[in-house]
Each structure stands twice: as C-alpha cells, then as structure tokens.
Amino acid sequence: MYYGKDKILYRTIKADRLSSIILFGPPGCGKTSLARVISETTKYRFYKINAVTAGVADIKKVIEETKNFMLNPIGKSILFIDEIHRFNKLQQDALLPYVENGTIILIGATTENPYFEVNKALISRSMVIKLNPLTEENIYQILKNAIGRKDGLGEYKIKIEESTLRKLASIANGDVRTALNGLEIASLTTSMKEDGYIHLTDEVIKNSVQNRKVIFDKNGEQHYDNISAFIKSMRGSDPDATVFYLARALNGGEDPMFLARRIVICASEDVGMANPNAIVVANSAMQAINMIGMPEARIILSEAAIYVATSKKSNSSYMAISKALDDVQNKDTGEIPMHIRNAPIEGMKNLGYHEGYLYPHDFPGNYVEQQYLPDKMIGTKYYNPPHEKK
C-alpha cells in the first residue's frame, strides 16, 4: 500500500521529496484532490494542465518557465496532467527527456490503466499508484462534513435523516463528486420550511442526483475487467455472478452481440463435451439476438449465459486442439499413413495410396482397429474424455 498516513506517498508529500507518479482510479476517488494537496504543500512551482485541451505547446511553455532562472530559481517544477491517457505518443514523448533529467516532476491522473495507455518509458520513471473507489462510509462522512462546515454547506440550515444521507452515499457508488453535487443541488433548489430549515427527504435527494453511478466504460479497462469476470463466472458455474456481470455490461452499453459471442466461446471452450448441447443453445441465442435486438435480447442472453454457467464443464476439446496445434507447429510429426490418403485417380493406388484401408462400416459395430496417426505420432493422446480427466 503506497498511500495512507505514514505510507510512502504521505511521507514524500509531507517531506516535499516527491518523484514522478501516475495516479489511476475511477472518477471521484480523489486523484485531483491529491494533486491539489501537493500543490499547496510543495516548494516547487506547480502547473496543472488537462490533456483533453492541452498540447505540446503547453508542455513547452511549462518547461521554458521552469528553466527560466528569473521565474524559477529552483529549476524544477511539478506538472500535473489530468486525463494523461488522452495525450498521444508525440505529446507523451515531448515530456520524457524533462522527466528523465528531473526538470519536471510529473503527476499524471487517469481513469484508464496506465500500463495500457501511457508511454512505457514514462511508466518506468514513475511510481504508479492505484486509487480505489471511496467506500460508502467514506462518502457518508464527507457528506456529513460538508453539511456541518462553513466552507461547505454549513451556511444553509439543512435537516436530513441519517438514512437519507446514507442512501445518497450508496447511490454515488464510490464517486464522492456525484454525492456532493447531488447534495448541493438538493440544498440550493429546496425551499426553507417554516421552522427555518431546508428539509432534504428521500424524494428530494432522488430528484437531485443521477441514477446510481455505474463505474463502467465499454471502451476502457472496465470493459476488459467486466468481460473477464463474466466469462470466469460462467466457467466457474456461478449463475448469479454470471447474470450480475451480464447486467453490468448491458447497463454500461456493451454490444449484445459481443456478449453473445463470449457465451458461444465459453460453451465450446469450457462446457464442451460435457454437454455438447450448450453450443447449440449459445449459437441459437446469438442468432436470435441478431434478429431481435434490445431490450428483449437481454432475456435471451440471460437464458444462454445461465445455461452455460449451470452446465457440467469439460475443456477436453480445447486442450486437445491446443496440444495438437502445438505439435504440428513445433514437431516433426511425420507423414500421413499411405492407407488413409486420398486416391482419386486409379493409378495412384499403384503407388500405395489408399492401399490397405479398412472401411469401418464393413465391420461389426462399424469399427475396426487400424492406424490413423503418422508413425512418428503413434501413441499420442490429445483427447481425454471428461470422465477420464485426472
């Protein structure tokens, strides 16, 4: 753990010995607030830019002012870049030499996983710190402080039940900004009663804050985390978790066909020969979803996902083809036996093609023992039926 009292981040800020850091976490978890704390405690010049609106020219201006002895005798500055993942490669590269030589102490904030979005050279020269969403109790305490403090909403005479305040904290789902904005809107738009207080009820709060904030970006890290959890829940035979992550994906705007394809893959890879009908159900669901669309497609997705989740599991087909492909790509596997080769022309049989082939349907039970694998692969076993798996 990097943050918290007496931890490394706390100590470096307090001692003003900060090195470059990348802060990442969901909206409203305190990235910008942490940068503000640093700006008020450091002896260095502090610059703040937003990657959405800034460019290379803004970076150069900060560097020029930093290197100007008249403006900045220390010769070093802290540059806070909000939404740093929005910077393209050229913009990030423009920062690199000055972060390397210590002219710039970089503080980058992002809602995306920086290991995917930020220049690897910048990452290697920075401390990467993940900030977690605030807990419901954290947000509740912040809301209480906001009501009681004069530099918050203390000048308004507000009455609100504890249960209502906790509901607001719950709706925010880890984003304190959502909670505070909702509380402020409710306070500013509600008339004072005869007793001289502004009464904030459940209904007032409900009408003053957006629906429960879902931390989900169908184009970002949450997309990958959620689909991973969805697939692992189906594989792990947990229908409740499966439906939860399915609902989360749908609520976040995920493409139903993308979800349907994941179910088909899971039906083949993880259910496989333990219940071959699973891929039939999954494929039928995908076709139905393509024809019907949302919102009814949610029901079809739910049915198919639950069917796959509750089916017995076997990855024997997946393991078989994976092992066979590995052998084909990396081994000398020999030649196809002559007796099972194709002989479309009569003269080819004179060369040994197809000679000696035993037609299984000519034998009792439609089976006869004969060699099918190349000589070099005799004895190789790829398919292990589910009941034989150790």
The closest alpha carbon to 123, from 99, 101, 98, belongs to: 99
For residues 148 and 262, membership in a common domain is answered with no
- What is the mean predicted confidence (pLDDT) over 156-179? 86
For residues 182 and 123, membership in a common domain is answered with no
For residues 245 and 285, membership in a common domain is answered with yes
- Supply angle C-alpha 33, 36, 42, rounded to 5: 140
> Is pLDDT of 198 > 60?
yes
For residues 125 and 141, membership in a common domain is answered with no
- What's this model's pTM, rounded to 2 decimal places? 0.59
- Contact by Cβ (8 Å): 14, 46: no
Residue 166 falls within a domain, yes or no? Answer: yes
d(CA 282, CA 277): 9
d(CA 29, CA 345): 74
Residue 215 falls within a domain, yes or no? Answer: no
For residues 160 and 186, membership in a common domain is answered with yes
Residue 100 falls within a domain, yes or no? Answer: yes
Tell me which DSSP letter residue 283 carries: H
For residues 117 and 13, membership in a common domain is answered with yes
Please provide residue 49's backbone torsions phi and psi, each rounded to the nearest 5 degrees: -135, 160
For residues 200 and 235, membership in a common domain is answered with no
Model confidence band, residue 387 (pLDDT cutoffs 50, 70, 90)? low
**For residue 97, cis peptide bond before it (omega within 30 degrees of 0):** no
Residue 93 falls within a domain, yes or no? Answer: yes
For residues 27 and 112, membership in a common domain is answered with yes
Residue with tokens 């809301």: 143
83-134 per-position pLDDT tens digit: 898 888 888 888 889 998 889 999 999 988 888 888 888 888 888 888 888 8
- What is the mean predicted confidence (pLDDT) over 211-227? 65
174-195 per-position pLDDT tens digit: 788 888 888 888 888 888 888 8
For residues 355 and 288, membership in a common domain is answered with no
Residue 319 falls within a domain, yes or no? Answer: no
Residue 251 falls within a domain, yes or no? Answer: yes
Q: How many domains does the chain have?
A: 4
Q: What is the CATH number of the domain that holds 198?
A: 1.10.8.60
238-253 per-position pLDDT tens digit: 999 999 999 989 988 8
> Is pLDDT of 346 > 80?
no
For residues 342 and 367, membership in a common domain is answered with yes
Q: What is the CATH number of the domain that holds 254?
A: 1.20.272.10
Model confidence band, residue 24 (pLDDT cutoffs 50, 70, 90)? confident
Residue 31 falls within a domain, yes or no? Answer: yes
The closest alpha carbon to 21, from 132, 104, 131, 126, belongs to: 126
Q: What is the CATH number of the domain that holds 106?
A: 3.40.50.300
Model confidence band, residue 214 (pLDDT cutoffs 50, 70, 90)? low
Residue with tokens 């596997």: 333
Range of the domain at 367: 329-387
* pLDDT score recorded for residue 217: 56
d(CA 46, CA 42): 8
d(CA 259, CA 210): 27
Residue 213 falls within a domain, yes or no? Answer: no
- Contact by Cβ (8 Å): 91, 55: yes
For residues 142 and 117, membership in a common domain is answered with no
Angle between helices 277-292 and 256-266 (to 10 degrees): 170
